[in-house]
Amino acid sequence: MIQEAQLTIDLDCLAHNYNCLRSKLKEDTALIAVVKANAYGTSSVRIAQELAKLGTKHFAVAYTAEAVVLREATIKEDIMVFYPQIGQLDRIIEHQLEPVLYTVEIIKAFIVLLKQKNLKDYPVHIKCNTGLNRIGLSQEDLVFFLTKIDASSLNIKSIYSHLGASENLKPCPFTQHQINAFEVVKKTVKELCPTLPKFHLLNSSGVFNYPEHQLDAVRVGIALYGFANQTEWDLELQPIAKLSAPICQIHTLKKGENVGYNQGWKATKDSRIGIIPIGHADGIGRQYGNGVGKVQILGQTAPIIGNVCMDMLMIDLESIRCEVGTEVILFDKNTTAADFAATGNTISYELLTGLNSRIQRVYQ
Ligand SMILES: *Cc1c(COP(=O)(O)O)cnc(C)c1O
């Protein structure tokens, strides 16, 4: 019987998703597995270990601290850090991580550091901005870097960009514009770079939507966990995580009684309500309260009622036959995290990455 809120992670589904993605790639296209944000709320160490067993040679995280966690868990594969901060570059070197350099300042700072440490041929990646306007070198910065900066201490392993709307079905003028801008980047690099780095552009949805632009590598996150941002593509994948919790108390209420903080819900008839030990501190935000979010109990649906509390939420059991200890499912393979997130006006990414570490992770 389930004791507390738990996230059950199905490692066979992870393998399925990995193989599904691999099947869309040419043999020599590298798969960079994105395990940032605790592998999208699951567990970065365990997921990286499993993916390494499946053949993954390259991992990526957002921040330096996330990569250090993987190194300390003895993950030996390449670890790319998407958004290292200047003050973290020492740690990057200390743990043999591969930084993504995304401004001229950070490139210069890294080269200075390598010189101080007398290091050569250090593996790095360069991020170019092609229209997302989030992070990355402009075309001007790129030309400046390639012509004016002595980068002989760098081993530029790859140069990449990131699509802002890869899940939008073709034709998508914005994505086409980004693809064209990246072609200009490639041409510039080919003209000005003595050794040719690898090029990559696609995230998960991109692999489904633009496999013809897979280039030398793809950076996949959400699809490993079972989602690709279009229903049709989602059908090829299997959500790896199930979030459930037991009913921990049942109340029988008289018509007119109310439930939760600020009398968020009022019984319009005699009612049975269930208390579930998971709340907004666990990542189930207040937007799911007041009838918005729905949970599954023994194949039936019950609404979340009143305001979601920090550690608990309440559901209207109506006539569902259940008792204290009965498992309540927030999302699983059938009612997915994407479905649940949609009720709360958000996306699978936010729901999954927001799951607090106090939710037990169980593997099967
Ligand atoms: C998070 C991230 C990815 C992975 O995106 P998914 O949509 O989860 O596949 C790829 N590239 C960059 C730069 C990212 O920040």
What is the full per-residue pLDDT of the chain (364 aa) written as tens digits? 889 999 999 999 999 999 999 999 999 999 999 999 999 999 999 999 999 999 999 999 999 999 999 999 999 999 999 999 999 999 999 999 999 999 999 999 999 999 999 999 999 999 999 999 999 999 999 999 999 999 999 999 999 999 999 999 999 999 999 999 999 999 999 999 989 999 999 999 999 999 999 999 999 999 999 999 999 999 999 999 999 999 999 999 999 999 999 999 999 999 999 999 999 999 999 999 999 999 999 999 999 999 999 999 999 999 999 999 999 999 999 999 999 999 999 999 999 999 999 999 999 9
Instruction: Give me the CATH topology for the region 241-363.
Output: Lyase, Ornithine Decarboxylase; Chain A, domain 1 (2.40.37)
**Other CB atoms within 10 Å distance of the CB of residue 211:** 14
Per-residue model confidence (pLDDT) at position 112: 98
Distance CA 77, CA 55 (A): 10
Nearest CA among 317, 303, 326, 301 for reference residue 252: 317
Do the beta carbons of residue 128 and residue 108 sit within 8 Å? no
Q: Which residues contact 253 (CB under 8 A, 6 or more apart)?
A: 259, 267, 270, 271, 272, 273
Burial call 58-81: b when 16+ CB within 10 Å, e when fewer: bbbbbebebbbbbeeeebeebbbb
Q: What share of the chain is helix, strand, coil (3-state, %, to 5)?
A: 35, 25, 40
HSE (side-chain half, CA atoms, 13 Å) at 278? 31
* Residue 222 alpha carbon, nearest atom of ligand 1: 8
pTM for this prediction: 0.97
Instruction: Give me the CATH topology for the region 11-234.
Output: TIM Barrel (3.20.20)
> φ, ψ for residue 137 (rounded to 5)?
-75, 140
Per-residue model confidence (pLDDT) at position 1: 83
Q: Looking at this protein, which amino acid is placed at residue 104? A: V
Residue intervals in the chain for CATH 2.40.37.10: 241-363
33 C-alpha to center of ligand 1: Å? 9
Residue to probe by mutation, ligand 1, list 82, 160, 201, 233, most atoms within 8 Å of CB: 82
Burial call 92-126: b when 16+ CB within 10 Å, e when fewer: bbeeebbbbbbbbebbeebbebbeeeeeeebebbb
Per-residue model confidence (pLDDT) at position 99: 98
Burial call 346-359: b when 16+ CB within 10 Å, e when fewer: bebbebbbbbeeeb
220 C-alpha to center of ligand 1: Å? 6
* Residue 166 alpha carbon, nearest atom of ligand 1: 7
* Residue 100 alpha carbon, nearest atom of ligand 1: 13
Nearest CA among 203, 180, 107, 178 for reference residue 149: 107
Q: Which residues, judged by CB distance below 6 Å to any ligand atom, belong to the binding site of ligand 1?
A: 34, 36, 82, 162, 203-204, 219-223
Per-residue model confidence (pLDDT) at position 194: 86
Residue intervals in the chain for CATH 3.20.20.10: 11-234
Strands 360-363 and 6-9: parallel
Atom 4, ligand 1: residue with shortest CA distance = 221
* Residue 204 alpha carbon, nearest atom of ligand 1: 9
Q: Which residues contact 37 (CB under 8 A, 6 or more apart)?
A: 62, 66, 353
